[in-house]
Amino acid sequence: MERENFGSKVGAILAAAGSAVGLGNVWRFPIETGQNGGAAFIIIYVLCIIALGLPIMISEFLIGRYTHANTAGAFRIVSNGSPWKWVGRLGVFTGWFILCYYSVVGAWTMHYTFLSVTNAFYEVPAQEYGNIFEQFVSNPWIPTLWLLVFIGVIHYVITRGVQSGIEKSAKLMMPTLFVITVFLAVCSVMLPGASEGIQFLLKPDWSKVTSATVLQAMGQAFYSLSLAMGCLCTYASYFDKKTPLAKSAINVAFIDTVIAIMAGFIIFPSVFNIGMNPNEVGVGAGLTFISLPNVFQQALGDGTFLAVIFSSLFYFLLFVAALTSAISLHEVATAYVTEEFGMSRKKGATIVTAVILVLGVLCSLSFGPLSHITLLDRNIFSMFDDFSGMVLLPIGGMLISIFAGWVLDRKLYRDEISNGGDLKTPYFKLLVFSLRYIAPIAISLVFLDQIGLFNIFK
Ligand code: PHE
């Protein structure tokens, strides 16, 4: 069967950027930045991207494009049948696993867009937002229905194929996402008191930087670039031979970082405008679905047209960001099932969707009817989240860097990143150095930190 490629370089980069720009850019990066020394944190984060993120991203691109195969097939080819082939399978598994809980949050963003558009937050007292969220997620039906819609949209895009589905949707959604982000950031910085918010976000405070901060920056850089879950490898398998790998990786990392910083410009001016303590807004779901709806209503005028527009666009932005990431995860699994088991794309995608639906619904219900099912104090959703983020991702990333740095044929590597000698690669030695030493060591530290091993020593 003919394998499709992306139709253009721009399309390829936008699709990969779509994978990278996701919930992490909005609900984690800004708050981490504000609390960890502002510009100081951003500098460390960018250094992590350069020293750790880019080398791994380039390696994933390279393995995908060289083999033109799904992630499991790609690693099987480049590993020459050695046990390293399991790294590819691990990536597929990780991506598939993450998609199950990621879709649940994608569904929440749809519900909150709906609530915003219908002005449902009008005259809601500040302390009620927590209850609204609790009641929503514990309801057995509503989150599940939104989940069906969210997964339905992903399924539709995936079954349309690489060019007419993934690429076309990225070309539409990524510029939309960018325009909305700029619009919201501009509105937000015009609010009275915005400068305090910007200071909180940007003022460098090196005294806040500790080894924990650096670990946090590394972990975030890694997650934000969608590394080690097969996404970039799979997308790169649709790159044509002329796509410059290093330059594309830099573009993706740049877009991802700019959007993350701009998300901070959307959030903090409003938080300071209403005199809220930025250290109390929370992070993740608490920030996004409890603190921010209230912050936006108060900062922009309860129930006003501006508040409705701002809040609606903000949740729509999150929805688009989550959707493009979710599409990339689905494609990892679809390419795998389709190619490894020789099925049509439609059939492969349907199997993937069916699995996500079942596991996704379990994750979704774990805030309500299934909340009694726990393991290590976590409900099903948190098990998926923590196991993939804290265990599978770091292990995958470490293995990819070791494989690319120590095992993969050096000549092949050089040929591929220089596009057969067409491009100059003055950074080659540094790249290999990072893959061999910096990345594996750095990722092991993040891993040990995340599973709490460092706390044992304290
Ligand atoms: N990079 C995404 C983000 O920042 C994370 C992600 C992407 C997670 C794709 C899963 C799949 O949110």
Of 362, 322, 369, 373, the residue nearest 111 (C-alpha): 322
- Provide the pLDDT for residue 26: 95
User: What confidence tens digit (pLDDT) does each residue in 19-30 have?
Assistant: 999 999 999 999
User: In the structure, what pLDDT confidence band is assigned to residue 11 with cuts at 50, 70 and 90?
Assistant: very high
* d(C-alpha 381, C-alpha 408), whole Å: 36
Q: How large is the C-alpha radius of gyration of the chain?
A: 21
Residue nearest to atom 2 of ligand 1 (CA): 22
* d(C-alpha 352, C-alpha 357), whole Å: 9
User: In the structure, what pLDDT confidence band is assigned to residue 178 with cuts at 50, 70 and 90?
Assistant: very high
Interval between CA 65 and ligand 1 midpoint (Å): 21
- Provide the pLDDT for residue 212: 85
Could you give the percent of the chain with pLDDT greater than 70? 99
- Provide the pLDDT for residue 390: 81
Residue position matching structure tokens 């325009």: 179
Beta partners for residue 151, in sequence order: none
Chain-centre distance for alpha carbon 28: 10
- Provide the pLDDT for residue 450: 79
For residue 22, the ligand 1 atom closest to its alpha carbon is 12
For residue 231, the ligand 1 atom closest to its alpha carbon is 9
Interval between CA 126 and ligand 1 midpoint (Å): 30
Residue position matching structure tokens 């460098």: 204
User: In the structure, what pLDDT confidence band is assigned to residue 449 with cuts at 50, 70 and 90?
Assistant: confident
Q: How many CB atoms lie within 10 A of CB 65?
A: 25
Alpha-helical (H) ranges within 118-244 are 129-138, 142-159, 168-189, 194-202, 211-224, 231-236
- Provide the pLDDT for residue 415: 96
For residue 329, the ligand 1 atom closest to its alpha carbon is 11
- Provide the pLDDT for residue 24: 94
Ligand 1 surroundings by CB, under 6 angstroms:
19-20, 22-25, 98, 102, 223-224, 226, 229, 231, 325, 328-329
CA–CA distances in Å: residue 349 to residues 14, 68, 99, 155, 234: 22, 19, 13, 7, 15
For residue 102, the ligand 1 atom closest to its alpha carbon is 10
CB-neighbour burial class of residue 292 (10 A; exposed 0-12, middle 13-18, buried 19+): buried
Q: The whole model's pTM is what? A: 0.95
- Provide the pLDDT for residue 426: 95
Question: 355 versus 279: which is more confidently predicted?
Answer: 355
Average the pLDDT over each of 37-51, 277-291, 355-369 and give the range with the smallest value: 277-291
Of 20, 22, 35, the residue nearest 283 (C-alpha): 35
Could you give the percent of the chain with pLDDT greater than 90? 87
Of 96, 86, 98, the residue nearest 402 (C-alpha): 86
Of 66, 68, 74, the residue nearest 92 (C-alpha): 74
Residue nearest to atom 12 of ligand 1 (CA): 22
CB 91 within 8 A of CB 78: no
User: Does residue 91 surpass a pLDDT of 60?
Assistant: yes
Interval between CA 98 and ligand 1 midpoint (Å): 9
Average the pLDDT over each of 86-90, 213-217, 233-237, 334-338 and give the range with the smallest value: 213-217
* d(C-alpha 349, C-alpha 338), whole Å: 8
Interval between CA 431 and ligand 1 midpoint (Å): 24
Interval between CA 224 and ligand 1 midpoint (Å): 6
Interval between CA 13 and ligand 1 midpoint (Å): 16
Beta partners for residue 87, in sequence order: none
Of 107, 408, 49, the residue nearest 223 (C-alpha): 49
User: What confidence tens digit (pLDDT) does each residue in 106-130 have?
Assistant: 999 999 999 999 999 999 999 999 9
Structure-block tokens of residue 75: 């690693």
CA atoms within 13 A on the CB side of 35: 17
Q: What is the overall mean pLDDT for the chain?
A: 94
User: Does residue 456 surpass a pLDDT of 80?
Assistant: no
Of 377, 454, 430, the residue nearest 58 (C-alpha): 430
Interval between CA 182 and ligand 1 midpoint (Å): 21
* d(C-alpha 438, C-alpha 154), whole Å: 36
* d(C-alpha 388, C-alpha 264), whole Å: 26
Does an H or E element contain 448, and which? Answer: helix 439-450
Interval between CA 231 and ligand 1 midpoint (Å): 9
- Provide the pLDDT for residue 216: 87
* d(C-alpha 275, C-alpha 204), whole Å: 21
- Provide the pLDDT for residue 457: 57
For residue 23, the ligand 1 atom closest to its alpha carbon is 12
User: Does residue 398 surpass a pLDDT of 70?
Assistant: yes
User: In the structure, what pLDDT confidence band is assigned to residue 441 with cuts at 50, 70 and 90?
Assistant: very high
Of 453, 321, 446, 457, the residue nearest 53 (C-alpha): 446
User: In the structure, what pLDDT confidence band is assigned to residue 384 with cuts at 50, 70 and 90?
Assistant: confident
Residue nearest to atom 8 of ligand 1 (CA): 226
Of 101, 136, 139, the residue nearest 120 (C-alpha): 136
User: What confidence tens digit (pLDDT) does each residue in 293-352 have?
Assistant: 999 999 999 999 999 999 999 999 999 999 999 999 999 999 999 999 999 999 999 999
For residue 98, the ligand 1 atom closest to its alpha carbon is 10
For residue 20, the ligand 1 atom closest to its alpha carbon is 1
Beta partners for residue 375, in sequence order: 378
- For 420, residues 6+ apart whose C-beta sits below 8 A from its C-beta are 241
- Provide the pLDDT for residue 376: 84
Dihedral sign for Cα atoms in the order 54, 66, 89, 10: positive
